[in-house]
A and B are shown apart, each in its own frame.
Chain A
């Protein structure tokens, strides 16, 4: 544990969070020196000392970042590549010292920053467990106590005594993750690494992280995957070019982050950022080359009458109106159903359903007919897209702008996002 100085203490005092922070980053800046021509020899240093420009450029990876992470929370750092999020994590892990400011952490930090960090290729998996455990500050006895769990979690029982140089990258990450979460850490730091394993292992990792979280372990994650972060984290800090853009509850921060990411994407694709009045959504996220343009959408009942809202369990047709400015062959129409929080619940399209759209020209519409609406009551956002037949090229795409309400209908369900339409069968029947 590093000592708190008076500045850091006052920073904690003013924080709104209830739990005491276990990590405090207080006005931290980090400068890296990028050597133009690395002087790795004494002679150069001695001779080039005076009267010359410095041999390195200063690069500020972080500038004036302050945040505090409450005990037991799951905290995310989000941002694009080069935003400084990984640097910040390294500072928290104590690998690099800050150039100015202070970083305070409390308790044992177990950081999983890179695939197989600290593995020695010539040694066996088992020997590497001891090596890694000791890097995290454990004694041999402490490692012995968790060795069985680690091997079991990694699923590498058959390979644990082979040299790790024969391991696949998936096996590396499984062993690495298994060690990192079993060494009884107070704080776990994870930098994108779990994305490497297969689906099943990723799920187990997430499950285990939830378990750790319940037992009061503080988790700090770095990712640019917004959906996972929103799902996992209580709070998120968003970094851009080394500066803190926003900190707060994960949903809010992720939304602001996505707004900017999509706006940038839009600009990159040459589309004009614009506002769409229809749903009063945050900021229009629309791009595409507009050979086909999405005009509007309507909710209809089976007889074609317009509806103001859908109802769970009742029929609903979504009609997408388009205008094809030229002849377009076999376009693909796609919908995306999103919760208010941005979770994509479903994304049907004409291609997967093998619906033939033929050649279109001029104004027209396509209908997506649902016999029974499975979405639960609430506010839903709709994404609509028109793509070419390969789905590689976008004519027009409008992301999560159209909104519609779903009201309670004939469905008896009350919880969750969707009514799966199942039925119960008891053993006596």
Chain B
């Protein structure tokens, strides 16, 4: 496939673009890299206090039988959500940002998008590492951790597929980025992140519950919680659904991108 060989040829560029973004990111800031942890940590603490302490959302008992901690239950979901957010926002920004370059030199326009995904992935790797480390400390450990890389790999494909389309449409219509902001707010609460899925299934009408269940992010969050919090292997059906959705989204997204990205250098 010409596309993958093209991308492979430009792997150096993708790596360099990612490096460039990482290096330039916290330049001239005193705390530097610490910011990349302070930000998600603050979110985590805020949500844990608001939803766990004030609203008393009850997390299920963890896989080891005695842990019942809302913050950790939340953290497992936020790792997934943060990555998804970072990729979608990053890909839109990266293609626009690569405009001056794309107008002067040829390279596949998906390179900056893939590079921004790598940046997000490096952040997620750190967050996942911390999550797993904490689970080890609180003795909530199981072989189900092996599913984590698989889940993230599928999440990468899914996010990339959506990110490619969003980044391209955003070149033509800049209000896509605002639309995405609004959509992300809705989606955040339509995904069982600050509450367990059981809450929807018990309290919401059937069609809404079904919609929440079919939301791929629900399934990603669920799979991640299963693997690191509940310590259950995600079911085969569950994984199959994720695989089909992810690979399908990536294929369609990439196809659309390839189809319409030819003129992108003129529109930037």
Chain A residues within CB distance 8 Å of chain B: 32-33, 39-43, 45, 93-97, 109, 111, 113-114, 117-118, 120, 122-123, 127, 130-131, 133-140, 143
B266 touches A32 (CB 8 A): yes
Q: Does B106 contact A (CB under 8 A)?
A: yes
Closest to A114 in B: B104
Closest to A35 in B: B267
Shortest CB-to-CB span from B1 to chain A, Å, is 15
Number of interface residues of B (CB under 8 A): 30
Shortest CB-to-CB span from B105 to chain A, Å, is 5
Shortest CB-to-CB span from B27 to chain A, Å, is 6
Complex Cα distance, B27 from A151, in Å, reads 25
Given the complex, which residues of B lie within 8 Å of A43, measured CB to CB? 175
- Given A123-B24, A134-B15, are A111 and B174 neighbors across the interface (CB < 8 Å)? no
Q: Does B129 contact A (CB under 8 A)?
A: no
Shortest CB-to-CB span from A261 to chain B, Å, is 28
Q: Does B13 contact A (CB under 8 A)?
A: yes
- 6 closest A-B pairs by beta carbon, nearest first, are A117-B104, A134-B12, A94-B106, A134-B13, A134-B16, A97-B262
- Given A122-B27, A134-B16, are A95 and B104 neighbors across the interface (CB < 8 Å)? yes
Closest to B104 in A: A117
Shortest CB-to-CB span from B118 to chain A, Å, is 14
Q: Which of B102, B175, B262 touches A41 (beta carbons < 8 Å)?
A: B175
Q: Does B173 contact A (CB under 8 A)?
A: yes
Q: Which of B15, B24, B103 touches A120 (beta carbons < 8 Å)?
A: B24
Complex Cα distance, B100 from A127, in Å, reads 18
Contact with A along B3-36 (1 / 0, CB 8 A): 0000001111101110010011001000000000
B106 touches A93 (CB 8 A): yes
Shortest CB-to-CB span from A125 to chain B, Å, is 14
Given the complex, which residues of A lie within 8 Å of B101, measured CB to CB? 117-118, 135
Closest to B106 in A: A94
Secondary structure of the A contact surface, majority rule: loop
Given the complex, which residues of A lie within 8 Å of B105, measured CB to CB? 93, 95, 111, 113, 117-118, 135-136
Q: Does B51 contact A (CB under 8 A)?
A: no
Q: Does B263 contact A (CB under 8 A)?
A: yes
Known: A122-B23, A140-B12. 17 other contacts (CB 8 A): A41-B174, A42-B173, A42-B175, A42-B179, A95-B106, A95-B265, A96-B263, A97-B262, A117-B100, A117-B101, A117-B105, A118-B101, A120-B20, A134-B10, A135-B105, A137-B107, A140-B15
Within 8 A of A (CB), among B142-194: 172-176, 179
Secondary structure of the B contact surface, majority rule: helix
Given the complex, which residues of A lie within 8 Å of B266, measured CB to CB? 32-33, 96
B16 touches A111 (CB 8 A): no
Can you list 19 contacts pairing A with B, beta carbon distance less than 8 Å? A40-B174, A41-B173, A42-B173, A42-B176, A95-B105, A97-B262, A111-B106, A113-B105, A117-B100, A117-B104, A118-B105, A122-B23, A122-B27, A123-B24, A127-B23, A131-B13, A134-B13, A137-B10, A143-B12
Chain B residues within CB distance 8 Å of chain A: 9-13, 15-17, 20, 23-24, 27, 100-107, 172-176, 179, 262-263, 265-266
A135 touches B13 (CB 8 A): yes
A95 touches B174 (CB 8 A): no
Shortest CB-to-CB span from B264 to chain A, Å, is 10
B12 touches A139 (CB 8 A): yes
Given the complex, which residues of B lie within 8 Å of A131, measured CB to CB? 13, 16-17, 20
Closest to B175 in A: A41
Shortest CB-to-CB span from A175 to chain B, Å, is 15
Shortest CB-to-CB span from A183 to chain B, Å, is 12
- Given A40-B175, A42-B173, A117-B101, are A137 and B13 neighbors across the interface (CB < 8 Å)? yes
Given the complex, which residues of B lie within 8 Å of A109, measured CB to CB? 106
Given the complex, which residues of B lie within 8 Å of A117, measured CB to CB? 100-101, 104-105
Given the complex, which residues of A lie within 8 Å of B265, measured CB to CB? 95-96
Shortest CB-to-CB span from B194 to chain A, Å, is 30
Complex Cα distance, B266 from A93, in Å, reads 14
Given the complex, which residues of A lie within 8 Å of B263, measured CB to CB? 96-97
B104 touches A133 (CB 8 A): no
Complex Cα distance, B11 from A175, in Å, reads 23
Given the complex, which residues of A lie within 8 Å of B16, measured CB to CB? 130-131, 134
Complex Cα distance, B175 from A136, in Å, reads 33
Complex Cα distance, B265 from A192, in Å, reads 21
Shortest CB-to-CB span from B70 to chain A, Å, is 39
Shortest CB-to-CB span from B28 to chain A, Å, is 9
Shortest CB-to-CB span from A71 to chain B, Å, is 20
Complex Cα distance, B7 from A137, in Å, reads 10
Given the complex, which residues of B lie within 8 Å of A93, measured CB to CB? 105-106
